[in-house]
Chain A
Amino acid sequence: MITAHGLTKRYGDRTVVQDLDFTVRPGTVTGFLGPNGAGKSTTMRMLLGLDTPTQGRSTVNGRSYATHPAPLTQVGALLEARSVHPGRSAFNHLMALAHTHGIPRRRVEEVIDLAGLTDAAHRRVKGFSLGMGQRLGVASALLGDPATVILDEPVNGLDPEGVLWIRTLLTSLAAEGRTVLVSSHLMSEMALTADHLIVIGRGRLLADTTVAELIRSAGGASVKVVTPQPEELKAHLTAPNVTVTVTPAPVPTPGSHELRIRGVDTAHIGRVAATHAITLHELTPQTVSLEQAFMDLTQESVDHRPHRQHQPTPATGAAA
């Protein structure tokens, strides 16, 4: 469990993180999403006590990170991959960290195997590929068998096999009941692994929601219909939660009209059209892609326009 209360970081008059409030719950993978420079890394560094917040505070498993008597057993963190001395071997790096907590050599060897670094364990980190560096970062995060795991851009620089490994790992960590917070600037990556999303832009909280909820709030699913009989179709579809809008076709076809229908699915529209002998030229389900929803959300923060649909939805549904 991670909580942030009014977390704020300013450097001079530049505000990097502003008044962040969020809770990361155990048992799910929470994606921490934002464009580059949104304040994700700074927030994670504040969670770990590396940066002191200008205002506000954060707790991990009930207390501030620095006050845990054995922090590595509470939180495992992968910060920027290169938080390692390149002249030291992976084994020696992990062993040095393990010594601070009295973690035995056996556990060090365990996490080396887990991260797939067995063959490279005694080579100097200097010669590691970016992917091996990330694997070492993950190994050090899991060293203390922590209940909470914080990973900053873990898939950066990984090959497809490595990306798959991270996804499987994140899911299994969450399934074991751990709290998992993963940052990324790639919505598509988060869509595959995260259940819950915390989206920030320019240091502000833009959304704290589930993946499904984010799509819905960004406009949700609709159906595009092209028909020469728009009024008839509209009349037969009338229902309290159904909206039909006539949209001008990008390439106007004589005798054909494009409709955007929300609240019913393609199967229902097809049945209605068949029953009433209405000709359809096109019947296509339209989903707002996560990428688009993310762009819509963060675009506002980039443009400094007033918030159009900033509705931080309380954690509902599957993720809670």
Chain B
Amino acid sequence: MTTPHPTASPPYRITPPRILRAEWHKLRSLRSTWITVISAVVLVLGVGLIMGATYTSGGGDSDVDTVVLSLYGSMLAQIFLVVLGILMTAGEYATGMIRSSLTAVPARLPVLWAKAVAFAATVFTVMLATSVVTFAAAQAFLHDTDQAASFTDPGILRALVGNAGALTLTGLLALGLGALLRSVPGAIGAFIGGVMILPEILGMLPYDAVERAIMYFPTQAAGALGSATPIPGTISPGPALLALSLWAGTTLAAAALTLKRRDV
């Protein structure tokens, strides 16, 4: 036992970079983080290689955007990253860890921001690298087909960055949902229902206004961000980035509000 020093001013204090470091330590010290991130990487890369290897010029996929074709696995990888985001927040309520986290940082909000930054930095970095490598690997098969493209072609780099950004922002939306609902199954259900199923159902309605609105939904905006050429029936990358950022930002803001007000 060390001797107490109740009168001496403590050499330790909470700072935002320290909270970020703590959240980064929490993120990388869990097996589920590694499983979800590696699964996402393997899916994108694996599907990309299969798409490249099995492609034949003039087939049914000829009119598909090259980046979309190469990164087809992103749609599936998204599910793993959504789960990771939800586990980071709702998972702490499930385990009781949140009591430890908020006792250490009673200001509360910096914990949510640090989680979002740690998640975004990790997912964006990993998925950008994965997107670039997968595109290059797919081109090893596609270079002598009508899907041949290079990094310097118009829109290609933007779409690769856009794909990583879309995965990150959609993951942040899930992270916010997890913090808002405080339940892993609840947040996963809300994501499936609200983000994946709702636009499909609304799309059945015969109204142009609804159809236009659906273009701004997270999944549809994410699709627009990850394409080098404009996809018919989607918005352009600028508005898509803005829409997706607003979805993620609004959810995080709502999560922040409840975190500040509700008992733990």
Chain A: residues with CB nearer than 8 A to chain B? 26, 45, 48-52, 61, 65-66, 68-74, 77, 79-80, 82-89, 92-93, 95-103, 110, 114, 140, 144-147, 172-173, 176-178
A97 nearest in chain B by CB position: B104
Contacts A80-B96, A145-B2 hold; do A71 and B103 have CB atoms under 8 A apart? Answer: yes
Q: What bracket does the count of chain B residues touching chain A fall in?
A: 35 or more
Q: Which of B4, B25, B31, B95 is A84 in contact with, Cβ under 8 Å?
A: B95
Q: Which of B2, B4, B91 is A177 in contact with, Cβ under 8 Å?
A: B4
Residue contact B4 to A147, C-beta cutoff 8 Å: yes
B107 close to A (CB within 8 Å)? yes
Chain B: residues with CB nearer than 8 A to chain A? 1-6, 10, 12-15, 18-19, 21-23, 25-26, 29-32, 91-92, 95-100, 102-107, 263-264
Residue contact B1 to A87, C-beta cutoff 8 Å: no
When distances are taken between beta carbons in the complex, the residues of chain A under 8 Å from B32 are 87
Listed A/B pairs (29) with beta-carbon separation below 8 Å: A49-B102, A49-B103, A49-B106, A52-B263, A66-B107, A71-B104, A72-B104, A83-B97, A83-B99, A83-B103, A84-B95, A86-B95, A87-B32, A93-B100, A95-B29, A96-B23, A96-B25, A98-B22, A100-B104, A101-B18, A101-B104, A102-B12, A102-B18, A144-B10, A145-B5, A147-B6, A173-B1, A176-B3, A176-B4
B89 smallest CB distance to A (angstroms): 12
Cα(A99)–Cα(B100), bound, Å: 13
Contacts A88-B30, A96-B26, A176-B1 hold; do A70 and B14 have CB atoms under 8 A apart? Answer: yes
A61 nearest in chain B by CB position: B6
Cα(A87)–Cα(B29), bound, Å: 8
When distances are taken between beta carbons in the complex, the residues of chain A under 8 Å from B3 are 176
When distances are taken between beta carbons in the complex, the residues of chain A under 8 Å from B26 are 85, 88, 92, 96
Contacts A89-B29, A102-B15 hold; do A114 and B1 have CB atoms under 8 A apart? Answer: yes
Contacts A79-B99, A80-B96, A144-B12 hold; do A87 and B31 have CB atoms under 8 A apart? Answer: yes
Residue contact A48 to B10, C-beta cutoff 8 Å: no
Contacts A72-B12, A85-B92, A86-B95 hold; do A48 and B25 have CB atoms under 8 A apart? Answer: no
Residue contact A84 to B13, C-beta cutoff 8 Å: no
Q: Which of A70, A79, A100, A178 is B10 in contact with, Cβ under 8 Å?
A: A70
When distances are taken between beta carbons in the complex, the residues of chain B under 8 Å from A50 are 99, 102-103, 263-264
Q: Which of B2, B14, B29 is A100 in contact with, Cβ under 8 Å?
A: B14
Cα(A69)–Cα(B95), bound, Å: 27
Q: Is the interface of A mostly helix, strand, loop or mixed?
A: loop
Please give me the 8 A-B residue pairs with the lowest Cβ-Cβ distance, nearest first. A99-B22, A66-B106, A92-B29, A147-B6, A73-B10, A83-B99, A101-B12, A51-B263
Residue contact A100 to B22, C-beta cutoff 8 Å: yes
B100 nearest in chain A by CB position: A83
Residue contact B264 to A70, C-beta cutoff 8 Å: no
Q: Which of A89, A95, A100 is B18 in contact with, Cβ under 8 Å?
A: A100
Cα(A73)–Cα(B13), bound, Å: 8
When distances are taken between beta carbons in the complex, the residues of chain A under 8 Å from B264 are 45, 50-51
When distances are taken between beta carbons in the complex, the residues of chain A under 8 Å from B97 are 83-85
Further 16 A-B residue pairs, CB within 8 A, beyond A73-B10, A74-B10: A26-B6, A49-B103, A49-B106, A50-B99, A69-B13, A79-B103, A83-B100, A85-B26, A88-B26, A101-B12, A102-B12, A110-B2, A114-B1, A146-B4, A176-B1, A178-B4
When distances are taken between beta carbons in the complex, the residues of chain B under 8 Å from A51 are 263-264
Interface centre among A50, A83, A173 (most CB of B within 10 A): A83
Residue contact B96 to A92, C-beta cutoff 8 Å: no
Interface centre among A80, A93, A100, A140 (most CB of B within 10 A): A100
Residue contact A84 to B104, C-beta cutoff 8 Å: no
Residue contact A140 to B100, C-beta cutoff 8 Å: yes
Cα(A74)–Cα(B103), bound, Å: 11
